[in-house]
Amino acid sequence: MTKDRRNRAWYGKLDKDGFIHRSWMKNQGFPDHAFDGRPIIGICNTWSELTPCNSGLRDLAEGVKRGVWEAGGFPVEFPVMSLGETQMKPTAMLFRNLLAMDVEESIRAYGIDGVVLLGGCDKTTPGQLMGAASVDLPAIVVSSGPMLNGKWQGKDIGSGTDVWKFSEAVRAGEMTLQDFMAAESGMSRSKGVCMTMGTASTMASLVEAMGMSLPTNAALPAVDARRMALAHLTGKRIVEMVEEDIKPSDVLTREAFINAIMANAAVGGSTNAVVHLLALAGRVGVELSLDDFDLGSDIPLLVNCMPSGQYLMEDFCYAGGMPVVLKQLAENGHLRSNTTVLGGDILAYAEGAECFNDDVIKSFDEPVKPAAGLRVLRGNLAPNGAIVKPSAATDHLLEHEGVAHVFETIEEMKANIDRDDLPVTKDSILVLKGVGPKGYPGMPEVGNMPIPRKLVRDGVRDMIRISDGRMSGTAFGTVILHVSPESQAGGPLGLVQTGDRIRVSAKNGTLDLLVSEEELTARREAWRPEQPHYTRGYAKLYVDSVLQAEKGADLDFLVGKDTRPVTRESH
């Protein structure tokens, strides 16, 4: 092969530097002809035993390698930081940008021509995409896939969604601790990500809708042999993408992001998609704002999957998966033409799609819920915006005015939420401060605060909760999130006091604190930020540099990309 590929600057030189690059690689048994100029494909793997969602990626990497070899490429696997959503403290979101840095610099520093991104758990997919987009070499995604359906007492149970429900039932005295513990063992029955439409499955769905993976990537179970076959085909395809020079910037256009917004509404996707899509758009230079998410507000909920519906990802797969959703979006004028990693149009992903269970994937005419896309809220409590997920909310609470009960910190909330004398009613609005990007730090998934135990005992299962944090994609309820600016950055949320009245209108897109401007001015003058929780290392860098939620909570110096070749040698 004679094509002057990127890898030739590492492995094609007949000098000391070329000798070093080739010789040390040969200690793994690679022969001379592996360095003959063929495409070298990096396999960016987030496998880790501390990231159970991604525990199957070691095997999938072998499938990718088979496809790369078949297509005449040279596969090389490399590790990057793995973010175990269920295992990391204080929150995996704190480290999403660190993973993106790891991915970006690894791709840039090594002599590869294209990359396959192996991820799955909530923050790994967006982190990998952000890093790859900033280098803009040919890239494609293979997700780890969802777990098999959870099983307990002869019924299906779903990751996260049923955890929240069972936890509240225990607090209400309706479920024994013994049963709660028994359900734990049946919840996670195989390798893979949450089998609800949580953030991991949402991001896999949106990656498919944007054309950054092969069709069917979103829903094939992690342990399904077809996912290994998909990995093989992806390895084959990335070699072809290098030949065709299809890069993330060719696929991740504004049209792709709008398609993702539409798809997120149709599948009842996670609110976390907002911060991830905004951050990714910032990396590729696409103009995308929080207000763009209102474009999906009138899209009906088509996928009857927890937490907004009844079924799980395994059922979604067997019903036809994302190709069926894309077909319905296309037929109803909500899927924009756009290039994919296959080189054709995203509309091709929907061709021939067939629904095999119309109770799992509904139609536009008979949806799970009408007009169920995310709503953007603005007002004097959220000048830069906040979001709510109507598909997972209680309808009557989406238009509500109530009295605030404020928790200044997460510790105060946890210490007091179960007090029998907590002065709240079902009409109260719970407010939690200090859980934004800077404040926690990392913007954790604590926005879906527990319902006060005294109300749980009375049968209350939802009430309005407002914070500058996030919530799990598996969670549900009338939860207002991502309030910006956050309290730690001096946003109005930091001025709210117990007893204040707050008005919420999802219909009008408003979120207002009903306190006079004179009173707010006085409070603002007396307000002081909380002392930082971290004063060194990456966490300090994060707190000093992180953008607010409406900018995707990326680090300010990482926005954009750098595609310049690396010219200086290491010896």
- Sign of torsion, CA 306 309 311 313? negative
Q: Which tokens sit at 40?
A: 């070298």
The answer to whether the CB of 181 falls within 8 A of the CB of 284 is no
- Model pLDDT for residues 45-79, shown as the tens digit of each residue: 999 999 999 999 999 999 999 999 999 999 999 99
Cα separation, 547 vs 43, whole angstroms: 30
Pairing of strands 479-484, 382-388: antiparallel
pLDDT at 546: 98
| Mean pLDDT within 3-22 | 94
CB atoms within 10 A of CB 254: 15
**528-to-435, 488, 531 alpha-carbon distances in Å:** 16, 9, 9
Cα separation, 207 vs 486, whole angstroms: 29
pTM: 0.96
Q: What is the pLDDT of residues 423-459, one digit of tens each?
A: 999 999 999 999 999 999 999 999 999 999 999 999 9
DSSP of 424-482, one letter per residue?
A: --TT-EEEE-S-STTTTTS--B--SPPPPHHHHTTT-----EEESSB--TT--SSEEEE
pLDDT reported for residue 2: 46
Identify the three-state secondary structure at position 329: helix
Percent of the chain with pLDDT over 90: 97
Give alpha helix (H) positions in 332-452. Answer: 410-416
Q: Is 546 helix (H, G, I), strand (E, B) or coil?
A: strand
The per-residue pLDDT for range 147-180, each reduced to its tens digit, is 999 999 999 999 999 998 999 999 989 999 999 9
Tell me the β-bridge partners of 431. Answer: 406, 466
Q: What is the DSSP string of 76-104?
A: EEEE-----TTT-SS-GGGGHHHHHHHHH
In whole angstroms, give the CA distance from residue 160 to residue 477: 13
Quote helix, strand, coil % in the chain, to nearest 5.
40, 15, 45
Phi, psi for 310 (deg, rounded to 5): -110, -35
Tell me what pLDDT residue 234 has.
Answer: 98
Tell me what pLDDT residue 274 has.
98
Mean of pLDDT values over 493-497: 98
Residues, the chain: 571
- Neighbouring residues of 535: CB distance < 8 A, sequence distance ≥ 6: none
